[in-house]
Structure 1
Amino acid sequence: MKILFYIHCLIITFNFSGFAQRCNHANQIQNLYSQLTANGFDTQKPVAYHYFFIDSNEQDLNRLKDILQQQHYKYVRISKTSGKYQLELEKIEAHNAASATQKGKWLNELAKANNVETFDGFEIFSEENNTETDDLNTFKQQIEKTPTAELYKKALELYDKNEDAKALIVFDRCIKQNINLETSYYKRANCKTALGRPIEAIIDLENVLRLNPQHYEANYNVGGLYFDAKNYDKAAGFYQKAVAINPKSDNGFYRLAETYQYMGMKNAALQNCQKALQLNPNNEYAKKLINTLR
């Protein structure tokens, strides 16, 4: 099984001719625009910005949709994934890092004021991106015609090739057809993480754990996602479960130690870092951390 090892900074990869990267927090936005401008992106040129909101109540999203449509946002869709609804809206506009950050703060406040749980950031779409979206829509139509017996094999092939957007579409279909649910949810979560959709990835991983609470990789990966979101209490809880399931995981103990460090729990961090090095004296990350802790 694929285990994601998290580096604690936003990594953005795109072809400048066509890109889509979910962004929310200010540091993510600053990193994105730094890379865009370094590649010649014109912040004065209007492009399609897609904004995302998540809530368990579809009516709350519909009310927010009506408010934003009055302000010239274009409705794209409301979709449902793992018991949550996602509203997607589009607006053609130009932003730099500062204005995009302000827009994000405003939309977050607007969401809260209208009882919507989460403003989930934005993606930028160029014309080339729209072509890519059209290609994925065509692929989705093809997958809907694919015989059920072939779906899971197709999903695994795309997953192994790191074709995350297409693999996600096929795993969607597998889950709707109740095909290998535990693995389908797990691998779809990894696709969503790779595509910059951490909240949706957490939902999928929690579905894995509902089906199998002893799934080491799911506990480990959801711990990483909560760590990246700076929710260290939850991260520690999932890492604790991971090392209880697999007490020979040096990376699990290292990540737990790192989380305790961020929580200000130096002794617990040191103890777990020592466990990591007992299991694997060559764990370079644990070596660096223990030097910091001593």
Structure 2
Amino acid sequence: MPEGHTLHRLARDHTKWFAGEALSVCSPQGRFAASLVDGRVLKRAEAHGKHLFHVYGPDAVVHVHLGLYGTFTVGEPPVPVPVGQVRMRLAGRDRYTDLRGPNTCEVITAAEAKELRGRLGPDPLRRDADPERAWARISRSRTVVGALLMDQKVIAGVGNVYRAEVLFRHGVHPLLPGRDLDRAEWEALWADLVALMRVGVRRNRIDTVADEHLPKAMGRAARVDRHGGEVYVYRRTGQPCLVCSTPVAHQELVGRNLFWCPVCQPARMPVPA
């Protein structure tokens, strides 16, 4: 599933390409009420976590959640006949974009969009994010940090890659209960998520490895993975840690794969209740 940087990149691009235009909006697949926004001017696109919002006005916001399979493709005129199951097509003067396979594509009101966003945690990529909201939940929770970081009601936009990588970068074991995380550790984790995800928006991929651990510096082969980018532990089960050479560990947590280094992220004794 795309992580938050992907949605913010889409919001940035869609605003740049389409904002201020009266757009042709259709649903070749017939599963989206395109007529409610067809011909209207797009004010802006914005993201919150893994949710994308095309804002046409107070009574019309297109809400998209890509889910596991959703993708946008983009092209230039002339606009071709749709190929495949296109849920939504936007066409402006200079570009068009097709949305296929999303989990959600619906027209809602601004009030409904606000209510939806109110159920999400703070997003490290939004200027209005309040990390204290996330800390308030984490600091009193018995749930492990590895699960809390993936809970979109706690922090919006963090997925499996950022979860694994930010915990490694700060030496935090993913099975540490939230209430045993130090305040200083939380502040460092949040600041790093902000920085890493901003890089993700800019590069349109996830990179988390310091310069001294890059392939050229270490004389190793570059990572080959459909997610792209250089990472420390994500999908590196059994491979040597780039810092200490210990084999990367793996287990399943809440239905998702968890990766960490047992030496760089040592387990701690729990704090007595």
Q: What's the TM-score, normalizing by structure 2? A: 0.32
> Which one has the bigger strand percentage?
2
